[in-house]
Chain A
Amino acid sequence: MRIIFFTGKGGVGKSTIAAAAAWQLAQQRRVLIVSLDPAHNLGDIFNVTLKNKRKRFSENLYLQEVDLRQMARAYLEKETNVLSDTYSYLKALNLDHYFSVLKYSPGIEEYALLTSIERAIREETDFDYLLFDTPPTGLTLRFLALPQVTVTWIERLTAIRRQILEKRYTIQKIRRPLKTGEEKRELRLSYDEKDDDILNRLLVLQENYGKLTAVLQGATCGIVLVFNPDLLSLRESERLIEGLGDLKLPLRLLVQNKVTEENRTIADQVAGALQQASGHKGPSRYVALNQDIALKGASLYNISEDLRSDLEF
């Protein structure tokens, strides 16, 4: 299975290019396209109503929009319920609903995004291509960085936890062992790695995020950068390329959208600059500006440029 992310500045045409690529790929392969952008356009492009449910558009093409707010809400609701259960006595005083303020926790949207990507990668194995239409640059970079940031945190915390357990073990060794049937006179803490809930949880999380990072940096994953022939788009794309480089995520294709005869010179300059910034890692394609946005059967947006061959890495 190939996993492809379409990234770029807001309004450059990520969704359009992603939809066109999905349509072209679906002529031969099984494709699922997932929109992660809170401002969903996927349904509009294919002229269907998706509403957080998956829809089969053609024989090989499936569409899905992820409602991030709802995912974040569902996750926090679960945590809030655990808290409310623990503090169930508050129900008697009718104070338990104050935990609902948790739903405004920052950082939860990125987490919801990451979870939906992770779930899609894990569950949708019967597709040949998994295409993600991402939110604009800032949020995209933040959530793509999240697995690595989290893994760093987990590693540090695991190291401290191991040190704690080691010291507990030393203490246990110096104190004489308990005879059978003897009552503990002082608090004896677990020192075995298998018995420590926190360490176990940390290790599970580390494994999950390690796997996700490996998939994102691996040979089956690719990032497609969409941009326009203008200065703002160029600058933001340069920052994005730099960010992707830092995260060691593989850039596969540069797509310049909305190229016309008039802006061809600028388009060449922008493409050249970005090719240089990316170290000529992927090919660069031009997609012409087409005023005709009606969906005409197979020729989506009338995008006739071949995007498929570049995505069959």
Chain B
Amino acid sequence: MASSFLGYCRQMLTDMGTAQRESLVSLTCLEVQELENIFALLLMGSFIGLPAPPTFLSVELLPFMEREMRILHQRAEDAHDMLAEIMGTLGID
């Protein structure tokens, strides 16, 4: 009983620690996501009329860009509700 209680306490503390860490990195995570979004936009901007890099550069990197393209897509979907996006980022309910 005692050991499982201690284990329970330890688990709780660890989880609290993890939660703290997660809230710390959340902003950096968002920054990374935005950077990846920019990266994809630069490479594939021709879809929306941005000046494109040499065509073959996009073609060469295309096979590795799955994650970036998902993010690009997600960002385009969320774009119409920026306010909610910012509120979510800042943790305002």
Nearest-neighbour CB distance to chain A for B54, whole angstroms, equals 5
Nearest-neighbour CB distance to chain A for B29, whole angstroms, equals 6
Contact between B25 and A171 (Cβ–Cβ < 8 Å)? yes
Contact between A160 and B64 (Cβ–Cβ < 8 Å)? no
Contact between A82 and B63 (Cβ–Cβ < 8 Å)? yes
Contact of B25 among A150, A174, A189, A197 (CB under 8 A): A174
Query: Is residue A91 within 8 Å, beta carbon to beta carbon, of the partner chain?
Result: no
Contact of A163 among B18, B21, B25, B35 (CB under 8 A): B35
Contact between B35 and A154 (Cβ–Cβ < 8 Å)? no
Q: Which of A141-174 contact B (CB under 8 A)?
A: 146, 149-150, 153-154, 156-157, 160-161, 163-164, 167-168, 170-171, 174
Whether A160 contacts B61 in the complex (CB less than 8 A), given A150-B54, A174-B21, A176-B21, comes out as no
Nearest-neighbour CB distance to chain A for B53, whole angstroms, equals 4
Q: Specify the chain B residue showing the minimal Cβ separation from A78.
A: B59
**On chain A, which size bracket covers the interface?**
35 or more
Query: Is residue B57 within 8 Å, beta carbon to beta carbon, of the partner chain?
Result: yes
Residues of A bordering B, CB below 8 Å: 75, 79, 82, 86, 105-108, 110-111, 146, 149-150, 153-154, 156-157, 160-161, 163-164, 167-168, 170-171, 174-176, 186, 189, 197-198, 201-202, 205
Residues of B bordering A, CB below 8 Å: 17-18, 21-22, 24-25, 28-29, 31-32, 35-36, 38-39, 42-43, 53-57, 59-61, 63-65, 67
Q: List 11 A-B contacts (CB under 8 A).
A: A75-B56, A107-B55, A110-B54, A111-B54, A150-B57, A157-B57, A160-B39, A164-B36, A171-B32, A201-B60, A202-B61
